[in-house]
Structure 1
Amino acid sequence: MREHTDVVDAIPMRWLEHGEGTPVVFVHGIPTSPELWRHVLPRVTGARCLAWEMVGYGQSIPAGRDRDISVARQAAYLDSWLRQLGIERPVLVGQDLGGGVAQILAARAPERVAGLVLTNSIGYDSWPIPSVTMMQRLAPGLRLAPDVALYPMFVALLRRGHDDRARAAESIGLHWRHYATHGAARSLVRQASALNVQDTLAVADRLPELGLPARVVWGEADQFQKVSYGQRLATDLGTTLERIDGGRHFTPEDHPDRIAAAVDDLVTTSG
């Protein structure tokens, strides 16, 4: 796995890269980073896999200060990064917020996208989830809270999102380190405060018209993004929902084989 950074429109952007071939771009959600895809990228075959870090997340948390880090704006940042790297028509793979970013970019410029793979993604009016809405309401006070006060909430959130306990423990340490480094309370509040359901509602009616190859893979037991939304996305994108029995929210970490297989299948059939 290779780590890269580049400056795009005066913004430092980071990504992880693995393999060669058809470009496939992976976008994470909250509260994660490109490392969300660490077990998926090595399993994808015949593709140049690039896991992009959203502005204001992971190691790029400082870049989000005083910038718009909404989901809709992330789609614009992603497009600028793709253009700078000279990547044309990649397959976009998104989980959680990253799925919303992928939908928005595809809706804005379908000619720039070769296909979509969505797994336990936000969409329509499925978000923000209650814990994020609470953070938005309590933002003024939470910004001043010590990091140790946010850690139990962070741990509980990730545990609820995993069906693999060992992978949950691994993921908690991996993703928390970015918040611990850059100030957990301020960073999480900044991320939560930027979330607005109108970003996905604005493109919802365009999804059935995209005509792009798509795969939708969903953990059936996800408590954050209900499987009914996965079914709705699959229907609108003209594909069949692939359900992961017992799977929860963080499918790229708990079920990397299933996600990699969906990517491989789409790359093969769309190529």
Structure 2
Amino acid sequence: MKILRTPDTAFSNLEGYEFAPHYTEITDAASATPLRIHHIEQGPADAAPVLLMHGEPSWSYLYRKFMAPLAAAGHRAIAPDLIGFGKSDKPAARADYTYERHVAWMSDWLLANDLSGITLFCQDWGGLIGLRLAATFPERFARLVIANTGLPIGTGFSEGFNAWLKFSQEVPQFPVGVIVNGGTVRDLSPSEIAAYDAPFPDESSKEGARQFPTLVPITPEHASVAENKAAWEVLSRFEKPVLTCFSDKDPVTSGGEKPIIERIPGAKGQPHTIIQNGGHFLQEDAPETLTQLLIDFIAATKG
């Protein structure tokens, strides 16, 4: 497996992103290739972690405005970069990226960092992977906060997703910053757009971003349908607190909160909310609302 690594100079002077890097080395089981996964964190090292998982094609920059408020409330905020994104290593071949590999990579990262008592906040592919982690290690998760994501089992998806899938595979150059900006209600600044572009100095570094949309198991023939069904079986018995906070202006995941509320016992009776004036990347549109939601939900469900 050939690995690309974005130079550190690409991340110099990013607006609002002044975090010390943390790296964890894991080993890809199939190829025995070492892989370096990056994360940022803020807050007491001995506090229960709030695990903030990003999706496609963003990276931990998406959570830059979450870190200080969560830390100030006494939480350990942790935001990793998925393999292929941010400061984490990027396998060079599209075939190196599969759904199951992503789950295995982040499972190894979770165990290497020995996280427990986790509050998960997940969006987009952060949910497709994060919810699999919760199903694999339910004893390590204290609660789930789920936004604009799901756990597909081959039964189709929205027209918004179908349009995104077509665009992602056909656009000659994959415009990461422009894509993120297109998924927000507010207009990102030029420096913010540049920060989303920073991990990807050329098209060769974007193979993971290109591949992700094709991996979503929206048909019965897709890989990982069986694994996601098995994960749902576990989540259908998950009684710890679960909160949904989907946004009102995301054509990709609209209505996706319904199966979560219906199927996961821990979601019953919780104060589920729709984030107003939030696009797909609602972390950019409503960071203050979401961080306060996390702080309040943790406080209300402790013990």
Same fold (TM over 0.5): yes
More helix by share: 1
TM-score by length of 2: 0.75
Instruction: Provide the residue aligned with 1:241 in structure 2.
Output: 272
Among residues 35, 39, 44, which one is paired with 1:15 in the alignment? 39
Q: Structure 1, unaligned stretches of length 5 or more?
A: none
Instruction: Provide the residue aligned with 1:5 in structure 2.
Output: 23
1:106 aligns with 2:106: no
Distance in 2 between residues matched to 1:231 and 1:240, nearest whole Å? 13
1:212 Cα deviation from its structure 2 partner: 2.0
TM-score by length of 1: 0.83
Instruction: Provide the residue aligned with 2:14 in structure 1.
Output: none
Asked if 2 retains the 8 angstrom alpha-carbon contact of 1:126 and 1:229, the reply is no
- Count of residues in Structure 1 that have an aligned counterpart in Structure 2: 259
Taking every aligned residue pair, what percent have the same amino acid on both sides?
20
Alignment of 1:41-190 (within 5 A): 41-44=67-70, 45-63=73-91, 65=93, 68-124=96-152, 125-126=156-157, 129-134=161-166, 138=170, 145=172, 149-151=173-175, 154=176, 157-165=179-187, 167=188, 169-181=190-202, 183=204, 186-190=207-211
Give per-residue Cα distances to partners, 1:124-159, cap 9 Å, x unaligned.
354792244325765xxx6xx4xxx333xx455333
Give per-residue Cα distances to partners, 1:74-102, cap 9 Å, x unaligned.
23222211221222232221111101212
Distance in 2 between residues matched to 1:156 and 1:174, nearest whole Å? 11
Alignment of 1:18-29 (within 5 A): 18-20=42-44, 21-29=47-55
What's the C-alpha RMSD, in Å, of the aligned pairs? Answer: 2.7
Asked if 2 retains the 8 angstrom alpha-carbon contact of 1:163 and 1:254, the reply is yes
Instruction: Provide the residue aligned with 2:239 in structure 1.
Output: 211
1:57 Cα deviation from its structure 2 partner: 1.6
1:66 Cα deviation from its structure 2 partner: 6.8
* Alpha-carbon distance change, 115 to 177 in structure 1, aligned in 2, over 3 angstroms: same
Query: Which residue identity does 2:263 align to in structure 1?
Result: D
Among residues 249, 260, 264, which one is paired with 2:291 in the alignment? 260
1:34 aligns with 2:34: no
Instruction: Provide the residue aligned with 2:15 in structure 1.
Output: none
Asked if 2 retains the 8 angstrom alpha-carbon contact of 1:18 and 1:50, the reply is yes
* Alpha-carbon distance change, 62 to 225 in structure 1, aligned in 2, over 3 angstroms: same
Deviates more, 1:58-67 or 1:172-181: 58-67
Asked if 2 retains the 8 angstrom alpha-carbon contact of 1:94 and 1:121, the reply is yes
1:270 aligns with 2:291: no
1:67 Cα deviation from its structure 2 partner: 6.8
Distance in 2 between residues matched to 1:131 and 1:184, nearest whole Å? 23
Distance in 2 between residues matched to 1:135 and 1:201, nearest whole Å? 28
Asked if 1 retains the 8 angstrom alpha-carbon contact of 2:250 and 2:279, the reply is yes
Task: Find the residue that maps to 1:115 and give its secondary structure.
Answer: strand
Asked if 1 retains the 8 angstrom alpha-carbon contact of 2:54 and 2:124, the reply is yes
* Alpha-carbon distance change, 168 to 270 in structure 1, aligned in 2, over 3 angstroms: farther
Query: Which residue identity does 2:236 align to in structure 1?
Result: P
Instruction: Provide the residue aligned with 1:191 in structure 2.
Output: 212
Distance in 2 between residues matched to 1:17 and 1:74, nearest whole Å? 21
Give per-residue Cα distances to partners, 1:187-206, cap 9 Å, x unaligned.
53233344434364553344
